[in-house]
Amino acid sequence: MEISVVPLPVDKMKAKFEDESHLGFGKIFTDRMFLAEWSTDKGWHDARVKPYEPFVLDPACIVFHYAQEIFEGLKAYKWEDGRIALFRPEMNARRFQRSADRLCMPEVPEELFLNGIEKLVSLERDWIPGMPGTSLYIRPTMIAVEPVLGVKASAHYYFYVLLSPVGAYYAAGFNPVSILVEDSYVRATPGGTGEAKTGGNYASSLKAGLEAKKKGFDQVLWLDGRERRYIEEVGAMNMFFAYGDHIVTAPLGGSILAGVTRDSVLKLATTLGCTVEERLIDVNELMADIRSGKITEAFGSGTAAVITPVGKLCYREECVSMGQGVGRLTQKLYDTLTGIQTGKIADEFGWVHFVA
Ligand SMILES: *Cc1c(COP(=O)(O)O)cnc(C)c1O
């Protein structure tokens, strides 16, 4: 499909950030966005890169009432040689299709997803920060925009992409997080939408997150929705536990988000000489294995922070710690993954996707 470019008036261009060390996350947006529309009669049409501006939407739109919405998250990196690299964007394209299917939304063809992102990122290349750890965060989103209050799948959708220069997550070095194992609220159940990247999953998780914050925790670790016994995932991260060089993570049973970083960690860890295992992890066994020192490291994986070390884990009345500082494997995985993403380490996997 042809992607047109709506001119950006010079007086609409924003001043670029001056200080790359204080970008934060998702607070600044670039001058342009990508937008394509889908309707039952026309299918996908009117794909264009246009000036970033608010939508004018009917307050009755389905997305506002019944949360028919999905999104993605990936990053563009500016390499030292000036090239722009995306990390496994095909995985995001396919996951977006699976999320769309679950929410009864039209699939965005992989080519439209990738071409839209590439065209937008290419035009906005001056917005990609260059300091170590910084990147351009890419947020593809789809919303249901038919204005009708009857509960049904919309007949009209917007697929759009926003870009946000983001700062180094660990500007001051790795910060191990403290995590509360959530014992009453659940995030997802088998047959639900846990596997889809949809806003509703986040809306329903806010309460547990807020209560955990009040108790001094950074994040909550979700247990399975049926027995509240098996480890699932944390906020927007998949979880890993290292028994020495043996790495364990929860299986993708339908209620866990299939992270691109998760998949990359599993593949990378094998080449670093680790064994990996996807299996059910009982929370009682987990606590016992951390307490006894069998588990040597714990970390989360996700696009935003790549790898997040876990320092402390609390379940019911008990708290266990992972030992001092950042584990060897956690550090190695972080260094290698970010090294591949930024061109400092050779990509043996074919994960890097350059923007023309
Ligand atoms: C996006 C997300 C992740 C991480 O996925 P990545 O592709 O690695 O960024 C994990 N869990 C949830 C709930 C998510 O929404």
CA-nearest residue for atom 5, ligand 1, is 259
Q: What is the pLDDT of residue 191?
A: 95
Assessment of whether the complete model's pTM goes beyond 0.85: yes
Going from the Cα of 8 to the center of ligand 1, the distance in angstroms, rounded, reads 33
CB 216 within 8 A of CB 242: no
Q: What is the pLDDT of residue 13?
A: 85
CB 313 within 8 A of CB 298: yes
Task: Report the nearest atom of ligand 1 relative to the CA of 262.
Answer: 8
Q: What is the mean pLDDT of residues 47-57?
A: 97
Going from the Cα of 303 to the center of ligand 1, the distance in angstroms, rounded, reads 7
Going from the Cα of 43 to the center of ligand 1, the distance in angstroms, rounded, reads 29
Q: Tokens for 204? A: 């329903």
Full DSSP string of 153-183? --SEEEEEEEEEEE--TTTTS---EEEEEPS
Going by pLDDT thresholds of 50, 70 and 90, the confidence category of residue 24 is confident
CA-nearest residue for atom 6, ligand 1, is 259
Q: Tokens for 38? A: 């889908």
Adjacent-strand bridge partners of 248: 241, 277
Closest CA relative to residue 196, chosen from 36, 67, 35, 61:
67
Going from the Cα of 5 to the center of ligand 1, the distance in angstroms, rounded, reads 31
Per-residue pLDDT reduced to its tens digit, 301-334: 999 999 999 999 999 999 999 877 889 999 999 9
CB 85 within 8 A of CB 343: yes
Model confidence at 92: pLDDT above 80: yes
Going from the Cα of 324 to the center of ligand 1, the distance in angstroms, rounded, reads 27
- Angle 35-146-191 (CA atoms, 0-180°, nearest 5)? 90
CA-nearest residue for atom 13, ligand 1, is 236
A 10 A CB-CB count for 124 gives 23
Q: What is the pLDDT of residue 19?
A: 84
Q: What is the mean pLDDT of residues 255-278?
A: 97
Task: Report the nearest atom of ligand 1 relative to the CA of 301.
Answer: 8
Task: Report the nearest atom of ligand 1 relative to the CA of 263.
Answer: 8
Per-residue pLDDT reduced to its tens digit, 202-227: 999 999 999 999 999 999 999 999 99
Model confidence at 14: pLDDT above 90: no
